[in-house]
């Protein structure tokens, strides 16, 4: 650890740190500790010195070692060597994000994407054929979905899989260069097999995108006939992952290469599916892959924590300026520095709490405990929104932490280089963030729509006028909040104290989410009533839709954090976390106070009071900054092989 080798500011109560860490670790503490221990073993620390090919070799070796240690198969059925515990598998994956992020992504490709496609889209014969070797990493696999011409718009991809009844085979073809598979992890070097997403055609008819198992290399590593692979080469980060491009030239695979849980083709080529609507079928298939999005969300949260530990350790030791004639002051004493670091820590806690809840829901759904379609869609909405916000948080906070460490943050050895460049792609892979926030918004609006029936042509909105708005208000308790609006104007309400009340904070956040959602719906409805082209209406409302997704997550995080605090018994820790939760909520309200005033929800006086309250909370939480970040339980090895311990400098 380059900034300081050990935390130098003693935490008043070391047992408090332990208790806080256990509380953060939650139900899957064994999985987290297994990965922490593995990361702490000699030779498992991130190595900033490796060149691309060495790095790839190292990452493959690490993945095999981790698999042997039981760290990668937790989510697979026990009969194939797995642990049968989806929640634990996500917790293990999240923890891996505290180490080398190329290893994380390699594991995500192998066990999440490739293994997940076989598990969720395949049936028993696919499980028997592939899962055991997948769990041990003996069979490295690819997830060949993305094409050059189509990133986010998967439904439009162009690779074809045509059934040939004469030979009882599928013929997989890349018809144009824009249909080549791109960014495929495990493809450039290690992959022997791929789950290839292609337009299924049989009997002259197309049935949309389906997944097929296609061998791409023999066990010696030779690329198979008809398959062409190119290396994506050096990237901005994650160079330990062998991303590649793949083309298929009429590659033939047997009929049972179709991962056929949701669609079968018989030997005459007759297509059948339990889901008749092709659109619904596509989204059901894609929906089973939600674990990837949930996992990236958790990984982003944990990578952010690594940066926060480094920045707080630095801020507690680095002295700059101070009162004339006296010792210089540690950075953490400065309000500007507290403002840079503490609201970000509060948001990491809120994200962590919400992530834990989301993983529990994922676990319930995939264990079969809870398979209702409503809960699946709620999970999809949450995963889309939270993945966007958590990865944006990672990008912003890691940058802020780097800058808060001055020159020292710019040393390669200090981990910020890797944290920045490796997490950067999180914002655009597993769904581009801007697209995901709109997906979340679409789901939320659709839920309202379903509540009232199918009324509009775009499948998005259409009933939000007059009385409907009242009903929404009813449903979401807006009425009650509206009733409180007048109170705001009374003297005595504009007190800081009120803003520190959790109920007030949650009301403010929920009210904003509801109001923005119904406003977006009315705006879309209004546009369509005008006779405007629905696509134009959608584009015109896009910024509003992004706000729908964002404000929904803002509230969701505060609620999850607040609920999670209820489970902590230690009154001292609870006091600290209560303040931290208030800091999260009020930071959001402070950032959005323009909106709150526009909508009559905050008076100008109370709006100013949010700024003061955030300052006050930063000051009160400052003595706990080290406790809060050390409790993340980041292994010391995760801070890198710094070649020297340095006090950093700020200028060149």
Quick one: 255 or 314, whose CB is closer to its own copies? 314
Angle between the 433-452 and 467-475 helix axes, to the nearest 10 degrees? Answer: 110
512, two tokens: 């904003």
**C-alpha distance from residue 157 to each of 153, 160, 436 (Å):** 7, 9, 19
DSSP label at 476? T
Q: Between residue 573 and residue 592, which ones bind its own copies under the rule CB under 8 A?
A: 590, 592
Neighbours of 309 (CB within 10 A): 27
For the chain, the residue count is: 652
Give CA–CA dist 535/528, Å, rounded.
10
Task: Please enumerate in sequence order all residues whose Cβ is within 8 A of that of 217, keeping only pairs 6 or more positions apart, or say none.
Answer: 191, 192, 223, 224, 227
Q: Is 534 in the site for its own copies (CB under 8 A)?
A: yes
Candidates 19, 235, 376, 523; binder of its own copies (CB under 8 A) is 235
Q: Is 158 in the site for its own copies (CB under 8 A)?
A: no
Give CA–CA dist 498/577, Å, rounded.
18
> Is 332:312 a contact under the CB 8 Å cutoff?
yes
Sign of CA dihedral 229, 109, 193, 170: negative
The residue with tokens 């995500």 is 108
Q: Is 336 in the site for its own copies (CB under 8 A)?
A: yes
Candidates 233, 254, 274, 623; binder of its own copies (CB under 8 A) is 233
x-marked contacts with its own copies along 433-472 as a string, rule CB under 8 A: xxx--x----------------------------------
* Minimum CB distance to its own copies, residue 505 (Å): 17
Q: Between residue 598 and residue 637, which ones bind its own copies under the rule CB under 8 A?
A: 598-600, 604, 607-608, 615
* Minimum CB distance to its own copies, residue 322 (Å): 7
x-marked contacts with its own copies along 176-205 as a string, rule CB under 8 A: --x---xxxx--------------------
Candidates 29, 50, 129, 232; binder of its own copies (CB under 8 A) is 232
Q: Between residue 28 and residue 87, which ones bind its own copies under the rule CB under 8 A?
A: 48-49, 51
Candidates 70, 77, 84, 151; binder of its own copies (CB under 8 A) is 151
Q: Between residue 351 and residue 370, which ones bind its own copies under the rule CB under 8 A?
A: none
The residue with tokens 């009154």 is 571
* Minimum CB distance to its own copies, residue 335 (Å): 4
Quick one: 202 or 304, whose CB is closer to its own copies? 304
Quick one: 504 or 615, whose CB is closer to its own copies? 615
Pairing relation of β-strands 193-202 and 141-144? parallel
74 alpha-carbon distance from chain centroid: 19
Give CA–CA dist 212/194, Å, rounded.
8
Q: Is 428 in the site for its own copies (CB under 8 A)?
A: yes
Quick one: 13 or 403, whose CB is closer to its own copies? 403
Total of chain residues touching its own copies, rule CB under 8 A? 97
Neighbours of 77 (CB within 10 A): 14
Candidates 535, 566, 569, 571; binder of its own copies (CB under 8 A) is 535
Task: Please enumerate in sequence order all residues whose Cβ is within 8 A of that of 365, keeping only pairs 6 or more positions apart, or say none.
Answer: 371, 375, 376, 379
76, two tokens: 């697979």
Q: Is 152 in the site for its own copies (CB under 8 A)?
A: yes
Candidates 220, 497, 531, 651; binder of its own copies (CB under 8 A) is 651
Candidates 389, 546, 557, 613; binder of its own copies (CB under 8 A) is 546
Beta-bridge mates of residue 196: 144, 212
Quick one: 567 or 647, whose CB is closer to its own copies? 647
Quick one: 88 or 404, whose CB is closer to its own copies? 404
* Minimum CB distance to its own copies, residue 409 (Å): 7
Candidates 132, 223, 417, 473; binder of its own copies (CB under 8 A) is 417
Using left for φ > 0, alpha for ψ between -120 and 50, and beta otherwise, residue 429 falls in: beta
Quick one: 321 or 490, whose CB is closer to its own copies? 321
Listed residue (185, 7, 42) closest to 104, CA to CA: 185
Q: Is 540 in the site for its own copies (CB under 8 A)?
A: yes
- What is the widest separation between alpha-carbon atoms in the chain? 91
Quick one: 202 or 610, whose CB is closer to its own copies? 610
């Amino acid at each position: 650890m380059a900034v300081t080798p050990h935390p130098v500011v003693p935490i008043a109560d070391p047992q408090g740190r332990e208790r806080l860490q256990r509380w953060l670790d939650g139900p899957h503490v064994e999985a987290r500790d297994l990965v922490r221990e593995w990361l702490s073993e000699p030779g498992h620390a991130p190595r900033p010195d490796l060149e691309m090919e060495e790095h790839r070799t190292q990452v493959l070796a690490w993945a095999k070692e981790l698999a042997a240690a039981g760290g990668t198969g937790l989510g697979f059925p026990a009969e194939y060597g797995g642990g049968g515990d989806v929640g634990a598998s996500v917790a293990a994956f999240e923890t891996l994000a505290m180490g080398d992020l190329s290893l994380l992504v390699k594991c995500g490709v192998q066990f999440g994407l490739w293994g997940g496609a076989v598990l969720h889209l395949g049936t028993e014969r696919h499980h028997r054929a592939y899962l055991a070797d997948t769990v041990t990493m003996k069979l490295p696999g690819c997830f060949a979905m993305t094409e050059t011409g189509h990133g986010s718009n998967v439904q439009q991809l162009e690779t074809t899989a045509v059934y040939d009844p004469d030979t009882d085979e599928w013929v997989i073809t890349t018809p144009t260069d824009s249909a080549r598979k791109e960014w495929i992890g495990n493809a450039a070097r290690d992959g022997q097999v791929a789950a290839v997403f292609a337009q299924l055609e049989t009997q002259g008819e197309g049935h949309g995108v389906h997944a097929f198992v296609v061998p791409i290399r023999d066990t010696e590593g030779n690329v198979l006939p008809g398959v062409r692979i190119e290396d994506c080469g050096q990237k901005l980060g994650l160079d330990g992952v062998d991303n590649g491009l793949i083309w298929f030239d009429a590659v033939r695979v047997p009929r049972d290469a179709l991962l056929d849980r949701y669609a079968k083709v018989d030997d005459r080529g007759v297509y059948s599916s339990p889901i008749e609507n092709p659109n619904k079928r596509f989204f059901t298939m894609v929906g089973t892959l939600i674990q990837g999005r949930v996992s990236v969300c958790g990984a982003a949260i944990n990578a952010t924590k690594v940066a926060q530990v480094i920045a707080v350790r630095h801020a507690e030791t680095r002295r700059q300026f101070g009162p004339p004639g006296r010792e210089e002051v540690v950075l953490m004493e400065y309000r500007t520095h507290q403002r840079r670091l503490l609201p970000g820590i509060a948001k990491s806690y809120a994200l962590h709490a919400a992530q834990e809840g989301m993983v529990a829901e994922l676990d319930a759904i995939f264990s079969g405990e809870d398979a209702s379609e409503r809960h699946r869609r709620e999970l999809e909405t949450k995963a889309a929104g939270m993945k966007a916000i958590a990865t944006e948080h990672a990008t912003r906070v890691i940058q802020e932490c780097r800058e808060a460490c001055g020159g020292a943050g710019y040393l390669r050895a200090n981990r910020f280089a890797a944290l920045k460049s490796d997490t950067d792609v999180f914002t655009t892979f597993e769904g581009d963030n801007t697209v995901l926030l709109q997906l979340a918004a679409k789901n939320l609006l659709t839920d309202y729509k379903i509540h009232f029936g199918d009324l509009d042509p775009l499948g998005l909105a259409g009933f939000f006028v007059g009385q409907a708005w009242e009903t929404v208000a009813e449903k979401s308790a807006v009425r009650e909040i509206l009733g409180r609006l007048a109170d705001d104007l009374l003297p005595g309400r504009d007190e800081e104290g009120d803003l520190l009340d959790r109920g007030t904070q949650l009301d403010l956040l929920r009210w904003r989410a509801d109001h923005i959602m119904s406003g977006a719906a009315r705006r879309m409805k209004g546009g369509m009533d005008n006779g405007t082209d629905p696509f134009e209406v959608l584009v015109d409302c896009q910024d509003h839709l992004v706000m729908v997704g964002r404000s929904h997550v803002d509230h969701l995080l505060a609620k999850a954090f607040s609920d999670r605090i209820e489970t902590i018994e230690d009154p001292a820790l609870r006091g600290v976390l209560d303040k931290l939760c208030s800091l999260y909520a009020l930071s959001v309200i402070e950032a959005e106070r323009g909106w709150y005033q526009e909508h009559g929800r905050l008076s100008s006086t109370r709006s100013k009071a949010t700024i003061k309250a955030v300052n006050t909370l930063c000051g009160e939480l400052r003595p706990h900054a080290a406790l809060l970040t050390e409790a993340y339980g980041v292994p010391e090895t995760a801070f890198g092989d710094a070649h020297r311990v340095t006090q950093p400098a700020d200028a060149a």
